[in-house]
Amino acid sequence: MAEGPGGTNADWTARARARIPGGVDSPVRSFASVGGTPYTVVRGEGPYVWDADGRRLVDLVQSYGAVLLGHAHPVVTAAVTAAAALGTTFGAPTPGEVLLAEAICDRVAGCDQVRLVSSGTEAAMSAVRVARGFTGRDRIVKFEGCYHGHSDSLLAGGGSGVATLGIPDSAGVPASAVADTLVVPYNEVPELDERVAAVIVEPVAANMGLVPPAPGFLAGLRQACDRVGALLVFDEVITGFRLGPGGASAETGVTPDLWCFGKVIGGGLPVGAFGGRRAVLEVLAPEGPVYQAGTLSGNPLATAAGLAVLDAVGPADYTALSATAARFGAGLEEALAGAGLAVQVPVVGPLVGIFFAGEPVTGYGTARASAATGHYARFFTALLAQGVALAPGPYEVMFPGLAHHPDVLDQVVAAAAVAARAV
Ligand X SMILES: *Cc1c(COP(=O)(O)O)cnc(C)c1O
Pairing of strands 139-143, 196-201: parallel
> Does residue 151 touch ligand X according to CB under 6 A?
no
Kindly name the residue from 59, 180, 235, 257 that is annotated as catalytic. Answer: 235
Phi then psi for residue 321, to 5 deg, are -65, -40
* Cβ within 8 Å of residue 173, ≥6 positions away: 152, 155, 156
First to last CA, the chain: 31
> Does residue 180 touch ligand X according to CB under 6 A?
no
> Does residue 393 touch ligand X according to CB under 6 A?
no
Cβ 117 to ligand X, closest distance in Å? 9
Query: What is the helix (H) or strand (E) element at residue 62, kind and residue range?
Result: helix 62-65
Nearer to ligand X, 157 or 331 (CB): 157
Question: Which residue, 387, 380, 381, is CA-closest to 408?
Answer: 387
Q: Measure the CA–CA gap between 336 and 354, rounded to whole angstroms.
A: 10
Residues that bind ligand X (rule: CB under 6 A) add up to a total of 15
Nearer to ligand X, 121 or 181 (CB): 121
Q: 286: cis peptide before it, omega within 30°?
A: yes
Within 10 angstroms of residue 327's Cβ, the number of other Cβ atoms is 16
Question: Which residue, 311, 198, 309, is CA-closest to 263?
Answer: 309
Map the footprint of ligand X across residues 236-265, applying CB under 6 A. 237-238, 262
Answer yes or no: 235 catalytic: yes
> Segment contacting ligand X (CB under 6 A): 141-149, 282-290, 294-302, 405-413?
141-149
Q: Which residue is nearest to ligand X (CB)?
A: 120
Q: Which of 119, 187, 252, 297 is close enough to bind ligand X by CB under 6 A?
A: 119
Map the footprint of ligand X across residues 357-386, applying CB under 6 A. none
Answer yes or no: 39 catalytic: no
Answer yes or no: 263 catalytic: yes
> Does residue 124 touch ligand X according to CB under 6 A?
yes
Strands (E), 196-311: 196-201, 231-235, 258-261, 272-276
Nearer to ligand X, 134 or 395 (CB): 395
Strands (E), 236-319: 258-261, 272-276
Nearer to ligand X, 48 or 395 (CB): 395
> Segment contacting ligand X (CB under 6 A): 88-96, 115-123, 171-179, 284-292?
115-123
Q: Measure the CA–CA gap between 94 and 304, rounded to whole angstroms.
A: 11
Per-residue DSSP letters for 154-169?
Answer: G----S-SS-EES--S
* DSSP symbol at 68: S
Nearer to ligand X, 168 or 240 (CB): 240
Nearer to ligand X, 22 or 87 (CB): 22
Q: Which of 129, 137, 139, 148 is close enough to bind ligand X by CB under 6 A?
A: 148
Kindly name the residue from 142, 186, 257, 263 that is annotated as catalytic. Answer: 263
Q: Which of 23, 46, 47, 120 is close enough to bind ligand X by CB under 6 A?
A: 120
Kindly list the residues in this chain that would bind ligand X in the complex (CB under 6 A). Answer: 64, 119-121, 124, 147-149, 202, 207, 235, 237-238, 262, 272
